[in-house]
Amino acid sequence: MVTSMIEEQILQTWRIHQHDMILLIESIPDDAFGATLSTRGGRDIARQLAHVHMVRAARLSSFAKKQGAPLIEFDKAESPGREKLLEAFRQSGGLMEVYMQDSLAKGGAVSNFRNGLVPMLGYYISHEAHHRGNILLTMKQSGFRIPDALRWLPGEWWVKGEL
């Protein structure tokens, strides 16, 4: 249970970030999911998104088992489609919020992240924003038009606090 304004702000920060990730997946043109700039077998856009989900899943695996919520998993070589990615991100994003609520109830303690919840949140947002930027660059350099909804991330909802 959230008990303070700062705790609500922490959760709202995750919700806004999660919104941005879902908007990204929804806005990528179908034929762009296979795009890559790598000449050495690096991840295409779909595999980058699968990687982001799997990093979330690694954090959440034991918590998910306790919640009775098995997580979607992707093989490293898998390039999942939009619907599977949306399902995975909605699942891991929702569970991450529950995980953070649980952490807040414990004073912000997080297992295997000694500095606590807020630095962990910063890590996940930073890691995922890195991939989001890489995905947009890949799209642009591969000749795909960047949809307007993605050009202005983070959007006005960061300022107004509205999703």
Q: Which residues contact 61 (CB under 8 A, 6 or more apart)?
A: 71
| Cα–Cα dist 69/60, whole Å | 10
Distances (CA, A) of 1 to 74, 84, 103, 124, 145: 32, 31, 10, 22, 43
Instruction: Report the share of the chain in percent with pLDDT over 90.
Output: 74
Q: Burial of 2 by CB count in 10 Å (0-12 exposed, 13-18 middle, 19+ buried)?
A: middle
Q: What is the pTM of this model?
A: 0.90
| Cα–Cα dist 123/129, whole Å | 10
The residue to which tokens 């909804």 are assigned: 149
Which pLDDT score is estimated for 84? Answer: 98
Contact between residue 163 and residue 16 where contact means Cβ atoms under 8 Å apart: yes
Predicted confidence (pLDDT) at residue 104 exceeds the cutoff of 60: yes
| Cα–Cα dist 138/59, whole Å | 27
| Cα–Cα dist 72/82, whole Å | 14
Question: Coil, helix or strand for 37?
Answer: coil
Structural domains present in the chain:
5-158 (1.20.120.450)
pLDDT bracket for residue 39 (50, 70, 90): confident
Region 121-135 average pLDDT:
95
Region 2-27 average pLDDT:
91
Which pLDDT score is estimated for 154? Answer: 59
| Cα–Cα dist 15/116, whole Å | 19
Which pLDDT score is estimated for 89? Answer: 98
